[in-house]
């Protein structure tokens, strides 16, 4: 099969699916076909697993000449003039970019319901959310539209939708992948990562996007190993940790069962599994929402109605441009985060909120360090429940935030994390989360590959 044939078939599938799933904001038919043709003419490099294959991109990753909205009215007509580093790398590896996927506005949310444009439906049950914020990317991979998609994960936005839709999603170590050209949410937490159907596909895609970038001073110059090496199915002698806090109150019984079954699987493969404690996990949500919202309030200052993005009509003066453009351009969830963030950072409240949250973050990092002194990886649920109903939590921000309790600690500590399919609860997929030491994605992939 040629890349052009595959791209044509992919376009037909995703266009038909989009009518019911709403996974895409933009499908880039002409450019995708042109790339595919060019790749065919040049000849496909057989060593590159992803050459000539169409993949989808979350719409907060900028793509030159291809509308990039972050699912916000603010950027509804934004056409970037450059490619994010991850996009440059994909293009250099002959990957075909097929379109931009739906998400929560500015990646703030866990259900894809805060998108300005539309709500994405879970392919397993159309009345359920696909998770979020990278819900469109997870959905199109789950539905068989594409073999891979990129997402971003600030507090769970790759792993939680992967869990809800039954696919493999990886958030790499903070610094492993360049953030240049990612529309920033929480700069100390954001990472780009792949969604795929299999662990090996995922490893091969991370190979392409990982690595140091001069444009991002937080990207690491550590060497990038071949993540597909070492996938031999063995976890013999490895030491697995199961934190007791991750199976506590609020975790669905079938989710618990899937994780305990996974623990048995690892044991039967020759690993040891110990119960451990991450005692500061319970403060994770509070600290995460203060830190991520503080960073968001700073990052979102640039959307002022002047430089680019939405500008209110019939304005009276400069103040009016700012106020009305932002009032009309941002949705409610984004405004909530900006208010929370500016409050936490303001004089008089900084010590009580931002500084406290930063201290909690250090305690959380130390919890993990301690566990990793004598363990190779951690397992637990990705999310406390399977996918919930569309509309079920969307008017209750605190309830929505609680869904992130098992994913945010990983971002707070900058660790690599994976979600992969581990069972079902009421006919909906359940994800197993695997967490490894900083820059040890190889162990994530080894463990995931042995398990799947």
Catalytic residues: 58, 133, 157
* CA dihedral (317, 320, 324, 330) positive or negative: positive
Residue 405 touches ligand GLN, criterion: CB under 6 A: no
Structure tokens at 331: 């949705």
Reference 85, options 210, 228, 257, 261; nearest CA is 210
CA distances from residue 16 to 11, 19, 20, 146, 413 in whole angstroms, order as listed:
8, 6, 8, 13, 40
Question: CB of 253: closest distance to ligand GLN in angstroms?
Answer: 23
Nearer to ligand GLN by Cβ, of 107 and 258: the residue is 107
Nearer to ligand GLN by Cβ, of 291 and 450: the residue is 291
At residue 403's C-alpha, the angle toward residues 191 and 200, to 5°, is: 45
Residue 135 touches ligand GLN, criterion: CB under 6 A: no
Q: Which one of residues 116, 164, 180, 185 is an interface residue with ligand GLN (CB under 6 A)?
A: 185
Contact by Cβ (8 Å): 290, 412: no
Residue 130 touches ligand GLN, criterion: CB under 6 A: no
Residue 140 touches ligand GLN, criterion: CB under 6 A: no
CB atoms near residue 224 (< 10 Å): 18
Stretch that binds ligand GLN, among 37-45, 84-92, 150-158, 256-264 (CB under 6 A): 150-158
Structure tokens at 247: 């199976």
Backbone angles phi, psi at 356, to 5 degrees: -60, -45
Question: CB of 224: closest distance to ligand GLN in angstroms?
Answer: 23
At residue 276's C-alpha, the angle toward residues 272 and 277, to 5°, is: 165
Nearer to ligand GLN by Cβ, of 325 and 407: the residue is 407
Residue of minimal CB distance from ligand GLN?
157
Subset of residues 283 to 312 that bind ligand GLN, contact rule: CB under 6 A? 292
Residue 445 touches ligand GLN, criterion: CB under 6 A: no
Subset of residues 62 to 121 that bind ligand GLN, contact rule: CB under 6 A? 107-110
Q: Which one of residues 154, 281, 394, 419 is an interface residue with ligand GLN (CB under 6 A)?
A: 154
Question: How far is residue 164's CA from residue 383's CA, in Å, rounded to a whole number?
Answer: 8
Nearer to ligand GLN by Cβ, of 108 and 240: the residue is 108
Question: CB of 416: closest distance to ligand GLN in angstroms?
Answer: 15
* Helix ranges, 309-378 (H): 318-329, 332-345, 356-373
Q: Which one of residues 133, 299, 325, 385 is an interface residue with ligand GLN (CB under 6 A)?
A: 133
Q: Which residues bind to ligand GLN, rule: CB under 6 A?
A: 107-110, 133, 153-157, 185, 292, 404
């Amino acid at each position: 099969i040629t890349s052009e044939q595959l791209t044509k078939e992919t376009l037909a599938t995703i266009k038909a699916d989009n009518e019911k799933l709403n996974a895409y904001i933009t499908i880039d038919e002409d450019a995708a076909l042109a790339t595919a043709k060019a790749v065919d003419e040049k000849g496909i490099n057989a060593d590159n697993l992803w050459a000539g294959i169409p993949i989808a991109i979350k719409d907060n990753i900028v793509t030159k000449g291809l509308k990039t909205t972050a699912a916000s009215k603010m950027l509804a007509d934004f056409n970037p003039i450059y490619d994010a580093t991850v996009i440059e790398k994909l293009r250099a590896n002959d990957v075909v970019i097929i379109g931009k996927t739906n998400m929560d506005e500015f990646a703030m949310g866990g259900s894809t319901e805060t998108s300005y444009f539309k709500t994405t439906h879970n392919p397993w049950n159309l009345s359920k959310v696909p998770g979020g914020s990278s819900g469109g990317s997870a959905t199109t991979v789950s539905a068989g539209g594409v073999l891979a998609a990129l997402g971003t994960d600030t507090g769970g936005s790759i792993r939680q939708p992967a869990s809800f839709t039954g696919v493999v999603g990886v958030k790499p170590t903070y610094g492993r992948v360049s953030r240049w050209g990612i529309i920033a949410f929480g700069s100390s937490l954001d990472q780009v990562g792949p969604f795929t159907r299999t662990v090996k596909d995922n490893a091969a895609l991370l190979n392409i996007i990982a690595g140091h970038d001069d444009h991002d001073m937080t990207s690491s110059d550590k060497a990038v190993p071949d993540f597909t090496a070492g996938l031999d199915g063995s976890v013999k002698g490895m030491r697995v940790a199961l934190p007791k806090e991750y199976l506590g109150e609020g975790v669905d019984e079938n989710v618990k069962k899937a994780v305990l079954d996974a623990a048995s699987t690892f044991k039967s493969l020759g690993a040891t599994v110990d119960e451990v404690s991450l005692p500061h996990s319970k403060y994770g949500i509070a600290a995460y929402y203060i830190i991520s919202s503080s960073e968001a309030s700073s990052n979102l200052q640039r959307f002022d109605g002047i430089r680019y993005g939405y500008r209110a009509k019939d304005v009276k003066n400069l103040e009016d441009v700012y106020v009305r453009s932002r009032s009309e351009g941002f949705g409610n969830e984004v405004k909530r985060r900006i208010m929370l963030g500016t409050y936490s950072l303001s004089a008089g409240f900084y010590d009580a909120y931002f500084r406290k949250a930063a201290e909690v973050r250090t305690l959380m990092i130390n919890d993990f360090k301690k566990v990793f002194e004598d363990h190779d990886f951690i397992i637990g649920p990705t999310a406390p429940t399977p996918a919930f109903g569309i509309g079920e939590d969307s008017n209750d921000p605190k309830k929505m935030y609680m869904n992130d309790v098992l994913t945010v600690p990983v971002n707070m500590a900058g660790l690599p994390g994976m979600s992969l399919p581990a069972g079902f609860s009421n006919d909906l997929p359940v994800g197993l989360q695997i967490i490894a030491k900083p820059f040890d994605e190889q162990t994530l992939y080894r463990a995931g590959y042995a398990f799947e």
